[in-house]
A and B are shown apart, each in its own frame.
Chain A
Amino acid sequence: MAKITLDDLRHAYGENPERPEDYALQQLDITFEDGGAYALLGPSGCGKTTLLNIISGLLTPSHGEVLFDDEDVTGLAPDQRHIAQVFQFPVVYDTMSVYDNLAFPLRNRGVPEADVDKKVREIAAMIDLEDTLMNRASGLTADGKQKISLGRGLVRSDVNVIMFDEPLTVIDPHLKWQLRSKLKELHQRVKRTMIYVTHDQTEALTFADKVVVMNVGEVVQIGTPVELFETPGHEFVGHFIGSPGMNILDCEVKGGQAFLHGQPIATSNAGALKDGAEGPLRLGVRPEFVSLSETDGIAADVVKVSDSGRYQIVETRVGDMPVKLLVNEGIEIPTGKTALSFRADRTRVYRDGWLVAGGAEA
């Protein structure tokens, strides 16, 4: 059990990296608290697997340090770091029984057979495999195999962190949900640090207490699911998390006042921005916080209405910019011209992609 600290970490796959583009992983500092459930979320190619492999020791970073508690483990091999990992495609030892699979990591470490037996049975019960203990592991379904992979991590008492690399990729859709809640339940029981890598926001948000959102080799935000939803720290987070994603609209800011398509609009943080700031300025607001208003507001045209079951998704246009909003079922949507109102405390200005700091945070 340990706190994991990544200190001034960077990684490049090529030799002699010079420009920022040479790095698969940009400079980052993260601390994973002991016993936490974390998710690394991002689209494929964002560097999350690279980061995972650096933590597990399969890769050595080109700069910076990995600390387990306060011990520098940057140079240590995976087996010396006391970690466990569940891979994208199930890894089981085909010729062994489920029992022998679970016992394998303990036997390799010379644990006495009596202790092995006790531990294996305890863990098998925890992951619902006690009935199939004597079966050949190769005969199990994909979710059973992933449970074995996880079980091989759980049997060891010395594990600092259990890592999951897109573990539900090959699981049947109707079993995904089951396995996901099983993982959550196990985390609460064993209180081990778990890091879960995925590109699926639902998996990340339901599993993790804290989510690390990554994009093109960069950590864009670390926060609880609620924080990511309510206060996206970067346009990417707003857009990537949520369905549909955050509206991102070009805007202007003059004297601490934001203007959308020439019309003034109340925001929570425009006041913190000085005039003449560089970088494109954009307004971010989630569809959940935009509503139709017949009296006053930003003039817009309704383009399309679609039904998602729980609410209606209304696509409108402000000038040539598309704005989506959510409206409850059963409410009549006007056609043609309408007006939109934006909830001021959830409407924010982003400069060069990043949230402008300051202002009245909700």
Chain B
Amino acid sequence: MNKLQNNKAWLFVLPVFALVAFNAIIPLMTVVNYSVQETFGNNEFFWAGVIWFQDILQSERFHASLGRQAIFTASILAIEMPLGVAIALTMPRKGPWVSVCLVLMALPLLIPWNVVGAMWNIFALPDIGFLGHMLNAIGFDFNFTRQPGDAWFTLILMDVWHWTSLVVLLAYAGLSSIPDAYYQAAKIDGAGSWAIFRYIQLPKLSRVLTIAFLLRFMDSFMIYTEPFVLTGGGPGNSTTLLSIDLVKIALGQFDLGPAAAMSLIYFLIILLLSWVFYTVMTRNEEQ
């Protein structure tokens, strides 16, 4: 669509700009400010330069958290994206059950994150939780509060439970907006179900899947509450993801300088990766 040049449009954007600027710029300045200063308490600050940034970038603790974060995000994307698309594909297009299905599927998305954590804690407890009890009953030695492997299993299963529906809903919406004529044409052209998926459904879904992928990437990279309530980052540090680590440093140890430097690095990583993914995923569209 051709847009009109009109600088008065700024007036429409002004309230949004003012609100977001208030929320984003002032706190961000605070963080930048802390990140370059040293404090010994008593509200006295000294110039520290880029020392905190160097510290964080070289710290093994940060590398470990970042590594865990990368593994977590990569795992849940690798499971949720294909699974969500697969479920959306098998769902019926019409009929009274469709909206029942959609409503039930959307339910986990609207449960407060700490309740999700608490719910999965109760669900996975080895003695009284359904999942933990059943796994132990069929011969697994399952205890997510003690064994890092089990903690990771529970954490990823929880995220799959929590968020796959977002991919399903977006993919389903994308699928239902494909006109029938495409399927009819493909039938007439003798296309099999794989060809229909590859040449009709997948291309038509590319936009909603880009949105789903970016949302899942960002949100999983920022995840804090659910793993904090479920495992508290443990056992040990085995499930300490970036946000949990950051809050430990900032609010637990009150190391404002390193915490602020880490915040900025963290934010920049998400920005950079989102930009890279977005560019790569939309490159085909622009050609």
Contact = CB atoms under 8 A, between A and B. Distances in A.
Given a CB threshold of 8 Å, the question of whether A touches B is answered with yes
Given A88-B181, A89-B179, A91-B182, A79 B188 contact: yes
Interface residues of A, number: 23
Contacts of B192: 108
B167 to A, nearest CB: 21
Interface in B187-209: 187-192, 195, 199-200, 203-204
Interface in A293-316: none
Interface residues of B, number: 18
A292 to B, nearest CB: 51
A108 B195 contact: yes
A78 B187 contact: yes
A104 interface: yes
B99 interface: no
Interface SS of chain B: helix
Contacts of A152: 185, 189
B59 interface: no
B185 A87 contact: yes
B188 A136 contact: no
A73 interface: no
Interface stretch (A27-35, A92-100, A120-128): A92-100
B220 to A, nearest CB: 28
B118 to A, nearest CB: 45
A139 to B, nearest CB: 9
A267 B182 CA distance: 52
Given A87-B181, A87-B184, A95 B189 contact: no
Contact of B190 (A58, A89, A96, A109): A109
Q: Chain A CB within 10 Å — which of B181, B200, B287 has the most? A: B181
Nearest to A155: B189
Given A87-B181, A95-B203, 10 more contacts: A56-B188, A85-B185, A87-B184, A88-B181, A89-B181, A93-B199, A93-B203, A104-B191, A108-B190, A108-B192
Interface of A: 56, 58, 77-79, 83-85, 87-89, 91, 93-96, 104-105, 108-109, 136, 149, 152
